[in-house]
Amino acid sequence: MKTPAVTDRAPLVDRAGLHLLRNLGPRSAAMLADAGIETVGDLRALGAAGAFRRLRFMGGKPSRNLLWAMAAGLQGRDWRTLDEDEKAALEAALLD
């Protein structure tokens, strides 16, 4: 079996279900799926702030912790490692 090149691996990550993303549990993944955000690639394309805005538009009431969880998860980090500047930038992105 041929081992995929590094460039071949990125699309597999983007096609992965959100339940595999760090920081997101089944409930968060289900809420995102209900808003049409089903894969890591979907979330990456919208960004954490865009996904958060879509959840609100769809009638959801996402918490700020979900915003931090999505942003950090896309970076492979624990959401608790986000500093105040990163959180402020995410808050500002909600207004764009």
Domain 16-95, CATH homologous superfamily name and number: 5' to 3' exonuclease, C-terminal subdomain (1.10.150.20)
- Give the pTM: 0.85
Domain map (residue ranges) of the chain: 16-95
Residue 12's pLDDT is what? 54
Is 7 or 94 the better-scoring residue by pLDDT? 94
| Token pair recorded at residue 16 | 């992965």
Q: Give the pLDDT confidence of 52-76 residue by residue, as tens digits.
A: 999 999 999 999 999 999 999 999 9
DSSP 39: B
Q: Is the pLDDT of residue 10 over 60?
A: no
Q: What is the pLDDT of residue 16?
A: 86
